[in-house]
A and B are shown apart, each in its own frame.
Chain A
Amino acid sequence: MEKNKLIEEIRDKTELMRRDCIEMGFAAGSQGAHFGPALSCVDIVATLFFSVMHHDPNNPDMPERDRFVMSKGHACMAYYAALIESGYIPKEMIPQFKGNNSILCGHPSMNMHYGIEVSTGSLGSGLPIACGMAMAAKYKNEKHKVFCVVGDGECNEGIIWEAAFNAAKYKLDNLIVVVDINDFQLSGMTAEVMPINLDALWKAAGWDVSYIDNGNDVEEVLQTLGEVKKSEGENPKVILTKTVKGKGISFMENNLAFHAAPINEEQYKQAIVDLNRAEASR
């Protein structure tokens, strides 16, 4: 496909996904939802699902599919939105988000019928599982890749670094991690809550490090993810990706109050206005 056309198509998907996120979060009512961390990574997840990853919504278990692990499980709305817009999850299920007996749990719960690859939610759990999946692929001589989205706050967890050392030891070159650096975690800015140098740490752990300066720009995300997927290096790969928390909704952007919060009718309407405006301005 011609590159610009592909970029426009992915952008279309990000708009639909942001709408899905707002609809899901609004449907959750007073329980609220993790808007900020989901909206920051929509463009990353969309680029993976609508271009970079090899997968088939009509055959969710296809052995040769690329694997996707949402390690920052609280951002599940972005994941569900990608599965909805891909056709794994019917759009009619949106109102069920966080509802009684719902498949659309507040953190992903493994369900391959709907394309949910592994259960996550306890921070730090996705990366080590992704490492095991990548190791198994190498052991079985399978050629697919394992993609894993990790949060910047999530990198506080010790298990992330246990997994990072281990992935480098076993040269899991089929593992590609995207760190969503939206600069916030639950109680404040990551730079204040736990000031760590992610760039230095991933390098020291033995990973090949790439960067995306604007992780909400599909063109840049596509360019870098595509290059990293094709790259031949023997080490596991991590892409440090700068994003904006709550991206796309005016009152949520860089606003810690919407890390996890309910929205009222008025805020919902404002969010729709913001999304309509963004669509009209393209």
Chain B
Amino acid sequence: MSKISLDILKEWSKLGHRSSLGESLVLLARERSDVVVVSPDLTTTARLVNFEKEFPDRLFNVGIAEQNMIGFTAGLAREGLMPFAVSIAAFAPMRCAEQIQNMLGYMNLNARVVGIEAGCRFGPLGNTHFAMNDLAVMRAVPNFTVICPADAHEIYKTVIAVADHKGPVHIRLTGAPGSPLLYPQDFDFEIGKAIEYRPGKDVAIIATGSVLWEGICAADILEKKGISARVIDMHTVKPIDTNILNSVFKENKLIVTVEEHNIIGGLGSAVAEYKSGFENVPKHIMCGLGDNFRKIGNYEFHLKESGLVAEDIAEIVVDRYKLLSV
């Protein structure tokens, strides 16, 4: 697959993760005749209009029916196609979790489930439209790989990488249109291998999804306060990259996980689960959404409410880091 020009990446970033996904799928489908898309009446919402225009016989709009979407996807995958089932994360994987487990995970099919607008970006629409525990569910489905890209470029890299991956994959997309482009240059992307976004010796900020940006900005603030922060892009939440965690346990004094997900069951939990097998490992701060239903408000309001902004992340790190030094 070809590299994407900076201009296109900037355009995709402006348009948001849905367009990044939709356009990436178009590029993939041009190379691979086995790539098909299944949509539960979200062709427009999920920015799949260009895909449908170019490949009308390869986009299946199954109507507002997420359970059947997964079964249909399973059948397509069972016959050797490479289907991407794309829905709003609040509805897939959440509404059809049982079908995902029994029809995709159990048979270890090469199907991809993409949840757009995960987390709480649909802020004013209310709790029915948030996906706050989808990682908790999908991490616990055997055979599934779970990936949360951080920007437009990583979405493209993810789409290309999963096309050659064996077994079912869940792709979780977060972030608003206009999210920054974190990878303007070409970069190596490998499923299951975290990216060391920047080195640092004191604190390790491990983030997944679009809030990686907040982690990077928090590292800038910490740097000014004399705390050196390493930033890790843990794009693959399952299987988690234990090699990089091993190096964090050895080299860093404090771990901060950052995710737009309930603090129960997501990235922070995955890190803690692995960490629990070791002694003398760094303390761990989990930044994420609280275990509560939310008031409505715009995206900025939600991120601020949950402390998922750089200033708040930096502040909590500074407070905790002081205690370590005592």
Residues of A bordering B, CB below 8 Å: 109-110, 117-119, 121-122, 124-125, 127-137, 139-140, 158-159, 162-163, 165-166, 169-170
Residues of A within 8 A of B273 (CB): none
Would A135 and B68 be within 8 Å (CB), given that A121-B102, A159-B99, A166-B63 are in contact?
no
Would A166 and B80 be within 8 Å (CB), given that A118-B107, A122-B102, A159-B99 are in contact?
no
Residues of B within 8 A of A137 (CB): 79
Residues of B within 8 A of A125 (CB): 71, 99, 102-103
Residues of B bordering A, CB below 8 Å: 36, 57-58, 60, 62-63, 65, 67-68, 70-81, 83, 98-99, 102-103, 106-107
A166 and B102 contacting across the interface, CB-CB below 8 Å: no
B126 to chain A, nearest CB (A): 24
A159 vs B70: C-alpha distance when bound (angstroms): 10
B102 and A128 contacting across the interface, CB-CB below 8 Å: no
A132 and B76 contacting across the interface, CB-CB below 8 Å: yes
Residues of A within 8 A of B62 (CB): 162, 166
A42 vs B50: C-alpha distance when bound (angstroms): 48
B67 and A132 contacting across the interface, CB-CB below 8 Å: no
B40 to chain A, nearest CB (A): 10
Would A136 and B71 be within 8 Å (CB), given that A119-B107, A122-B102, A125-B103 are in contact?
no
A167 vs B294: C-alpha distance when bound (angstroms): 39
A116 vs B81: C-alpha distance when bound (angstroms): 19
Cβ-closest chain A residue relative to B108:
A110
B81 and A162 contacting across the interface, CB-CB below 8 Å: no
A132 and B78 contacting across the interface, CB-CB below 8 Å: yes
B36 and A139 contacting across the interface, CB-CB below 8 Å: yes
Would A129 and B63 be within 8 Å (CB), given that A110-B107, A139-B81, A140-B79 are in contact?
no
B102 and A132 contacting across the interface, CB-CB below 8 Å: no
Residues of B within 8 A of A121 (CB): 102
B57 and A159 contacting across the interface, CB-CB below 8 Å: no
Would A131 and B71 be within 8 Å (CB), given that A137-B79, A139-B81 are in contact?
yes
A122 vs B72: C-alpha distance when bound (angstroms): 15
A169 vs B40: C-alpha distance when bound (angstroms): 13
A172 vs B222: C-alpha distance when bound (angstroms): 60
A26 to chain B, nearest CB (A): 28
B68 and A136 contacting across the interface, CB-CB below 8 Å: no
Cβ-closest chain A residue relative to B65:
A162
A128 and B71 contacting across the interface, CB-CB below 8 Å: yes
Main secondary structure of the interface of A (DSSP, over half): helix
Residues of B within 8 A of A165 (CB): 63, 65
Residues of A within 8 A of B75 (CB): 128-136
A40 vs B60: C-alpha distance when bound (angstroms): 35
The residue from B60, B68, B106 contacting A163, defined by CB atoms under 8 A apart: B68
Greatest chain A CB density within 10 A among B63, B71, B103 is at: B71
A121 vs B101: C-alpha distance when bound (angstroms): 12
Residues of A within 8 A of B67 (CB): 124, 128, 158-159, 162
Residues of A within 8 A of B70 (CB): 128
- 23 A-B pairs with C-beta separation under 8 A: A119-B102, A122-B98, A127-B71, A128-B67, A128-B75, A129-B78, A132-B75, A132-B76, A132-B77, A132-B79, A133-B75, A133-B78, A135-B60, A135-B75, A135-B76, A136-B75, A136-B80, A139-B81, A140-B79, A165-B65, A166-B72, A169-B63, A170-B60
B70 to chain A, nearest CB (A): 7
A162 and B63 contacting across the interface, CB-CB below 8 Å: yes
B50 to chain A, nearest CB (A): 20
A78 vs B60: C-alpha distance when bound (angstroms): 34
A130 vs B76: C-alpha distance when bound (angstroms): 9
B67 to chain A, nearest CB (A): 4
Residues of B within 8 A of A133 (CB): 75-76, 78-79
Residues of B within 8 A of A124 (CB): 67
Listed from nearest, the 4 A-B pairs whose CB atoms lie closest are A132-B75, A128-B71, A136-B79, A162-B68
- Please name 5 further chain A to chain B contacts, defined as beta carbons within 8 Å, in addition to the given A128-B67, A133-B75, A140-B81, sorted by A numbering: A128-B75, A131-B71, A132-B75, A139-B58, A159-B71
Cβ-closest chain B residue relative to A159:
B67
B69 to chain A, nearest CB (A): 8
A122 vs B74: C-alpha distance when bound (angstroms): 14
B78 and A118 contacting across the interface, CB-CB below 8 Å: yes
Residues of B within 8 A of A159 (CB): 65, 67-68, 71, 99
Cβ-closest chain B residue relative to A126:
B71
A91 to chain B, nearest CB (A): 26
The residue from A109, A127, A139, A158 contacting B57, defined by CB atoms under 8 A apart: A139
Residues of B within 8 A of A136 (CB): 75-76, 78-81
Would A128 and B68 be within 8 Å (CB), given that A139-B57, A162-B63, A165-B63 are in contact?
yes
B112 to chain A, nearest CB (A): 14
Residues of A within 8 A of B107 (CB): 110, 118-119
Residues of A within 8 A of B76 (CB): 132-133, 135-136
